[in-house]
Amino acid sequence: MNRTPLRVELDVFSGRPNPAWQLDDDAAAHVRDAIASLDRAESDRPLPAPGLGYRGFRVTDQTESSFTVFDGVVRTSELSLADPDRRIERLLFANVPPEFADLAQSLAPEVGPADD
């Protein structure tokens, strides 16, 4: 299991720099595992460009390769993975550090309630 940390950026601001933090090794492993279980999306067509407000997460690893998570799609430079239940976004919201908790709480409804 890859246990190296991940840098997570919550893409939400327009003027200020986005909130960003490091996921610890365990949480990063959970995210990687969850992504590994996803199937390829039916279409690789780009989502409509989101505007002002919540635009998902940008996650970067130590090799500077990155992926974005938004609206039920995990997208790398090569492929798109389907996450119809938005589990990855929910997982990332669950690991927001305390200093951004209020902001995260106000944005969490954007991904909707869990289906369990």
Partner 1 sequence: MLRVEVDMFSGRPNPTWILTDATQTEEILGAVRESRGALAKPRTGFGGLGYREVLVSALGDDQRARGVPREFAIGSTAAEDVRLSVDLARRVIETMPLRSDVRLVEHATTPLTARLRETILEELERFLRDLPKWWPPPPPPPPNPLRTTVHDVRCENCAYEVSQFNPAFWNTASVQPHNNCYNYARNWRTNTFAQPGRAHGAQTGTMSCNAVTTAAMADGLVKRCTCLPDSEYPRRLMALVIWPNVDYHWYREQRGNFWGHKPGSTAARSYDNNGALVVNPETAARGGYINFCGYFYAGRSVVIN
Distance of closest approach, residue 104 Cβ to partner 1, in angstroms: 12
Instruction: Decide: helix, strand or coil at residue 111.
Output: helix
E strands present in the chain: 6-10, 20-23, 39-40, 57-60, 66-70, 73-75, 80-82
The number of residues that bind partner 1 (CB under 8 A) is 16
Site for partner 1 in 45-104 (CB under 8 A): 48-53, 55, 103
Q: How far is the CB of 58 from partner 1 (least distance, A)?
A: 9
Pick out residues in 96-115 that bind partner 1 (CB under 8 A): 103
Stretch that binds partner 1, among 27-35, 44-52, 74-82, 93-101 (CB under 8 A): 44-52
- The total of other beta-carbon atoms located within 10 Å of residue 27's CB is 17
The residue whose two tokens read 């919550």 is 10
Measured from the CB atom, the residue of 50 and 84 that comes closer to partner 1 is 50
Q: What is the rounded CA–CA span in Å between residue 38 and residue 23? A: 20
User: How many other C-beta atoms are found inside a 10 Å radius of the C-beta of residue 93?
Assistant: 19
Q: Which is nearer to partner 1, 30 or 58 (CB)?
A: 58
Using the minimum distance from each CB to partner 1, give the nearer residue, 17 or 113: 17
Which residues would be at the binding site for partner 1 (CB under 8 A)? 11-18, 48-53, 55, 103
